[in-house]
Amino acid sequence: AAGVIQSPRHLIKEKRETATLKCYPIPRHDTVYWYQQGPGQDPQFLISFYEKMQSDKGSIPDRFSAQQFSDYHSELNMSSLELGDSALYFCASSLAAESNEQFFGPGTRLTVL
Amino acid sequence: TQLLEQSPQFLSIQEGENLTVYCNSSSVFSSLQWYRQEPGEGPVLLVTVVTGGEVKKLKRLTFQFGDARKDSSLHITAAQTGDTGLYLCAGFFYNNNDMRFGAGTRLTVKP
């Protein structure tokens, strides 16, 4: 069965650079969630979208923005990168009409040097 | 402070032993999920519990949701080395649309 796809899987950036992470949800899923997971920590919710509209906002820094496009894929844009942004970034998707079960992608490992 | 408390944080056992991991909150969950995560990979959904008192079995894994829907447990029977990983509980609370994770239980099963 098709799963959530994230790209790139690994990304290395310098401080103050920008990064764009992409997420392709499971086909038919209409809701996308972004999480940040630091080393040894649990995933922290950043932001979610339902039907291309922002549905909920967590601990997402002002330097980050995200959107969901007409094909339901989502992009997380990160600017003015800081060393502390180094983490695993996960995208999850769900089908709102069925349940709130979230299925996670493999993640993007971002390293800021 | 974590909204969801998981215990124990670390657990190291021998193959064949049984174990139980706990997830607790002072608030009522509208639903709760258990995930297993391998290093560098995304969490994999194991089960979702919704009804108070619900028990679900997944092979050697038994998941229980407390009657008051404030706690849950994961019991593994006859653990195998392949069960090694990080087990995360995650829950939705009423009046809150985002899912919150517990800190996780890092399980090591030794041969």
**Interface check B26 vs A, CB under 8 A:** no
* Test mutation, B97, B100, B106, chain A, max A CBs within 10 A: B97
At A10-23, the pLDDT tens digits run 999 999 999 999 99
Asked whether the predicted pLDDT for residue B3 surpasses 90, the reply is no
Q: How far from A49 is each of A3, A4, B28, CA to CA, in Å?
A: 18, 15, 24
The verdict on a CB contact (< 8 Å) between A102 and B44 is no
Q: Do B101 and A58 touch (CB under 8 A)?
A: no
pLDDT digits (tens, 9 = 90+) for B47-94: 999 999 999 999 999 999 999 999 999 999 999 999 999 999 999 887
Burial (CB count <10 Å: 0-12, 13-18, 19+), residue A30: middle
Residues of chain A with pLDDT under 70: 1
